[in-house]
Amino acid sequence: QSVLTQPPSASGTPGQRVTISCSGSSSNIGSNTVNWYQQLPGTAPKLLMFSNNQRPSGVPDRFSGSKSGTSASLAISGLQSEDEADYYCATWDDSLNGWVFGGGTKLTVL
Amino acid sequence: QVQLQESGPGLVKPSETLSLTCTVSGGSVSSGSYYWNWIRQPPGKGLEWIGYIYYSERTSERTNYNPSLKSRITISIDTSKNQFSLKLSSVTAADTAVYYCARAQGIEYFQHWGQGTLVSVSS
C-alpha cells in the first residue's frame, strides 16, 4: 500500500492528451513539492518533473505538472508511442521523515 | 555528468545480510550538497525508498532510514573511494528487488540514478 495514490493504468491514442493523478495528504503533497519519474521498460527511473512543474533539461514541453492542495497531476499532450512507460509521483513526507512514492501508473499508447 | 553504479552479490540466502555498494563518478560523495540514497523495486511492483546518507567535511555524516526497514539497515560512506554502501540484515524473500542508488538534491528530488542491480533472496 503506497502512501501516495495513483491510478494503476492509463491509456491514450497517439496525439491525445493524458493526465495521471497523484493523491496524498497534508504531511506529504500538502507540505512539499512533487516530483515525477518515468520508467521505461527494463530501465531505471528518470526524473521527468521536479518542484511540481519544472522540467529537467531534455524533457519535452509536452510534459507538464501541477499541484493543488494534497493532489498533483502529470499531463502528457501530443501522446507518442515512446511515452509508453510507468510513471511514479514522489515527495517528502514530514510525518515519516522520508520520501514516499505513488504505486505507479502504467501508461499504454494504443 | 554524474554517474552511479551499483555492485554486489545477486543472490543472498535467507536470514543473511545483503550488502551493496554504489560507486559515484563525475561528482564527490563528500561535496555536502547532496543526499545519497538507496531505493528498491520488487519485481513487478513500485518503488520504495530505503534510506540516505549525507556527508560534508564540516558536519560529518548523517543518515535517515525508512521506518519500516530501520531496524535492519545500515548505510555508510567511504569518501576515499567515493562510494556509499547498504547493508540489510536478516533478509527474506520479500527483500528480493532491484536495488537502485540515487543522488538527491536535498529533499527535493532524485536527480541521478544508477542502473539498478537485482538481488534475489533464496536458499
Q: Does the distance separating the beta carbons of A45 and B113 come in below 8 Å?
A: yes
Return the sign of the alpha-carbon dihedral for residues B45, B48, A4, A34.
negative
pLDDT by residue for chain B (123 residues), tens digit each? 999 999 999 999 999 999 999 999 999 998 888 999 999 999 999 999 999 999 988 878 899 999 999 999 999 999 999 999 999 999 999 999 999 999 998 888 999 999 999 999 999
Q: Does B25 touch chain A (CB under 8 A)?
A: no
Q: Does the distance separating the beta carbons of B109 and A45 come in below 8 Å?
A: no
DSSP string, A21-50: EEE--TTTTTTS--EEEEE-TTS--EEEEB
Instruction: Indicate the Cα dihedral angle A55, A56, A57, A59, nearest 10°.
Output: -60
More confident residue, B106 or A28: A28
Q: Does B110 touch chain A (CB under 8 A)?
A: yes
Cell of A13: 491514442
Q: Does the distance separating the beta carbons of A90 and B110 come in below 8 Å?
A: yes
